[in-house]
Amino acid sequence: MLYLLSFLVLAMLGVGIAIIFVKDILNAVILSTVVSLVASIIFLYIASPDVAITEAAIGAALTTVVFVIAIKHTKSKETSDKE
């Protein structure tokens, strides 16, 4: 079952690198949700289900809600230059 752990770590690394290269900031928030998801599976794999529950609750729901509300209440750089 070492293949599963290798696949998970490589997927997490790929998504984490992809966060740097996306242009839209909302895409980065969605990709960070996926990073938290893979981290939750890795925590479960190394036999710590309580940490996995906490990571799933915070990473899936709370981080996304806070980031999207923050994007909603701020302006992007282009619109603030025009005004």
Partner 1 sequence: MILTLSFVLIGLAVLFSLIRLFKGPTVFDRILAADTLAVITTALLVLMSLLFSRVIYMDVALVYVVLGFVGVVVVARYLEGGL
Which residues of this chain interact with partner 1, rule CB under 8 A? 1, 4, 7, 11, 14-15, 18, 24, 26-27, 29-31, 33-34, 37, 40-41, 44-45, 47, 49, 52-53, 56-57, 60-61, 64-65, 68-69, 71-72
Other Cβ atoms closer than 10 A to 82 = 6
Closest contact distance (angstroms) between CB of 51 and partner 1 is 10
Structure tokens at 60: 């899936």
- Residue matched to tokens 């981290």: 39
Please report how close the Cβ of residue 77 comes to partner 1 at its closest, in angstroms. 18
Residue in 41, 21, 44 with CA at minimum distance from that of residue 31: 21
